[in-house]
């Protein structure tokens, strides 16, 4: 953030506040403050964000609101919803919100109404999904499709993978499978268990040039053609892309090609035709509920005042931990097994959006930007990496997600344990255990005074470690839509505070270019000469291993 923007002083003051807050701790804020949960939580219907277990005081929060205003957050948000070309490095509007809009939202991309196009594609997806689900759209040799394989990567994979797992209780269509990695092991392992005669492939790629997806698509094509003949290919493939000309060149019929637009970023695209596998799995009505949930969050983000606005609060707290408290990573821990792929989804959403070091003004940023995002579901994580969260030398803010009601009513004892564990972890992170408490526990357990003295420091927990909890009634399509949109907007909010463009991803290009150049070297058709010594050494070692 450049001083010319006037942000320098505000960031310095907030960093001082962050340091003071660290010294004050979190526990102290709860003492004599029985209302802290009410004062430091906000809700959209049943969806609640509790950020009371952070070191924020009411004054810190006011300072963050002032900073957000100074950064022009609300104006930038309004510009996004108005379809301005806020993706400045690519000259594009950013309008994934239009994919879940209603006609009255009147979304326009750079002045052109997009609602009809969105509705047309949704209608085409609905006809196709209904046809596949009912058996009306049949495989080449008759019968019905039992399995659908989505071939895509990044934004053309992670969203559908995450959402189809999250909504497993709503599946009433064919089985879903996903192939993303160019490693042949991925497609080989998936197709091994499938019958080509009843398998449909979706080729999903915004650009329809991504080498991994094109390679897997060609292999899938052979899988069908070898088993059923070239003439069967048309019946067993469909595609999703913004590049419909390239889809046609691949040989996929126009009627089976579902488009979207350059104002939809890959990592924001699961609401578009990229969501086709989700729609096939849960049906068009449930898919509409998913969109409606996201729209509810959009409306809330647009209009709720800052102190009750979930994406703004989540973004401000995220920025506070990253910049004012200098925490380089954050953990996303869903206590909801069906959100197991949410951390991976969030890694792309957050790190591809906010992993930038150049600001909107073209200058190097002056503060840290996006944190490393990582996580696994609870309770599994407790038995793996929570040791570091509780006693490691780095403070990692944790974001817990928790549903009150599971889809398995006959397993209520599991759900009670799950909830108790989630609450216990955030309580333990915040409260910790003092040296004296550790000593007394050891003595009470019959250890000698000497032993208690020696071991107690290892059993002390500093506490004062921040966490947020996002609580919801149950993980249904509407709620999943709200949660994903909440995180999309949070990433946007943080980007405005960092002063960066969240909507490009030039950082992924270089590796792709180098891979193209290295392919002939790996194949033995070109020499590695002139490359760095490490690459030459590895190329030679690989060729020796291959014999």
Ligand X SMILES: O=P(O)(O)OC[C@H]1O[C@H](O)[C@H](O)[C@@H](O)[C@@H]1O
Binding site for ligand X (CB under 6 A): 153-156, 205-207, 210, 213, 266-267, 352, 505, 508
Indicate the pairing of strand 108-109 with strand 112-113.
antiparallel
Decide if 512 is catalytic: yes
Residue whose CB is less far from ligand X, 151 or 398: 151
| DSSP 8-state symbol, 458 | G
The yes-or-no answer on residue 410 being catalytic is no
Q: Which residues contact 169 (CB under 8 A, 6 or more apart)?
A: 338, 407
The rounded distance, in Å, linking the Cα atoms of 464 and 95 is 39
The C-alpha atoms of residue 481 and residue 475 are separated, in whole angstroms, by 10
Among residues 516, 531, 499, 424, the alpha carbon closest in space to that of 469 is found at: 424
CA dist., res. 496 & res. 78, Å (int): 12
> Which 3-state string (H, E, C) describes 251-304?
CCCHHHEEECCCCCCHHHCCCCHHHHHHHHHHCHHHHHHHHHHHHHHHHHHHHC
Q: Are strands 47-50 and 467-472 parallel, antiparallel or unpaired?
A: antiparallel
Question: Is there a catalytic annotation at residue 414?
Answer: no
Catalytic residue among 31, 104, 254, 383: 383
Full strand arrangement of the beta sheet holding 467-472? 41-44, 47-50, 467-472, 398-403, 329-335, 372-374
Residue 377 contacts residue 20 (beta carbons within 8 Å): no
Beta carbons within 8 Å of 417's beta carbon, 6+ residues apart: 379
Q: Which residues are catalytic?
A: 352, 383, 512
């Amino acid at each position: 953030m450049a001083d010319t923007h006037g942000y320098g002083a505000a960031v310095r003051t907030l960093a001082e506040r962050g340091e003071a807050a660290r010294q004050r701790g979190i526990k102290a804020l709860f003492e004599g403050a029985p209302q802290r949960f009410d004062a430091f939580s906000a809700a959209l219907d049943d969806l609640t964000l509790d950020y009371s277990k952070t070191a924020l005081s009411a004054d810190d929060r006011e300072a963050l609101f002032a900073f957000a205003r100074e950064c022009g957050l609300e104006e930038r948000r309004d510009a996004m919803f108005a379809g301005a070309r806020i993706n400045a490095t690519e000259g594009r509007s950013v309008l994934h919100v239009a994919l879940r809009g209603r006609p009255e939202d009147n979304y326009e991309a750079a002045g052109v109404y997009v609602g009809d196009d969105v509705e047309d594609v949704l209608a085409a997806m609905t006809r196709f999904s209904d046809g596949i689900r009912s058996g009306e759209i049949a495989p080449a040799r008759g019968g019905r499709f039992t399995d659908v394989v989505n071939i895509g990567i990044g934004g053309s994979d992670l969203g559908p993978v995450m959402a189809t797992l999250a909504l497993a209780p709503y599946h009433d269509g064919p089985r879903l499978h996903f192939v993303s990695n160019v490693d042949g092991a991925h497609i080989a392992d998936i197709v091994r268990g499938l019958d080509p005669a009843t398998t449909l492939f979706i080729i999903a790629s915004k650009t329809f040039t991504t080498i991994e997806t094109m390679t897997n698509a060609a292999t899938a094509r052979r899988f069908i053609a070898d088993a059923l003949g070239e003439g069967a290919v048309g019946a067993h493939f469909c595609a999703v892309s913004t590049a419909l000309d390239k889809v046609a060149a691949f040989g996929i019929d126009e009627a089976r090609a579902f488009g979207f637009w350059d104002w939809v970023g890959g990592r924001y695209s699961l609401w578009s035709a990229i969501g086709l596998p989700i729609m096939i799995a849960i049906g068009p009505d449930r898919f509409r509920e998913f969109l409606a949930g996201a729209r509810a969050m959009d409306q809330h983000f647009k209009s709720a005042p800052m102190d009750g606005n979930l994406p703004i609060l989540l973004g401000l707290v995220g920025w506070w931990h990253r910049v004012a408290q200098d925490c380089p990573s954050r953990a996303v821990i869903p206590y909801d097994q069906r959100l197991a792929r949410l951390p991976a989804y969030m890694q792309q959403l957050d790190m591809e959006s906010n992993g930038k070091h150049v600001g909107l003004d073209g200058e190097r940023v002056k503060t840290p930007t996006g944190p490393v995002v990582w996580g696994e579901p609870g309770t599994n994580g407790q038995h793996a990496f929570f040791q570091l969260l509780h006693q490691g030398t780095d403070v990692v803010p944790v974001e817990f997600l928790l549903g009150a009601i599971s889809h398995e009513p006959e397993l209520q004892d599991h759900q009670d344990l799950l909830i108790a564990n989630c609450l216990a972890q955030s309580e333990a992170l915040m409260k910790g255990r003092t040296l004296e408490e550790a000593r007394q526990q050891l003595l009470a357990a019959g250890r000698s005074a000497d032993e208690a003295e020696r071991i107690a420091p290892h059993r002390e927990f500093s506490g004062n470690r921040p966490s947020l909890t996002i609580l919801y009634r149950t993980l249904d399509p509407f709620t999943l839509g709200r949660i994903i949109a909440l995180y999309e907007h949070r990433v946007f909010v943080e980007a405005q505070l960092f002063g960066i463009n969240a909507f490009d991803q030039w950082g992924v290009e270089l590796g792709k270019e180098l891979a193209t150049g290295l392919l002939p070297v790996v194949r033995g058709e070109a020499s590695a000469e002139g490359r760095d010594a490490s690459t030459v050494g590895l190329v030679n070692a690989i060729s020796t291993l291959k014999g």
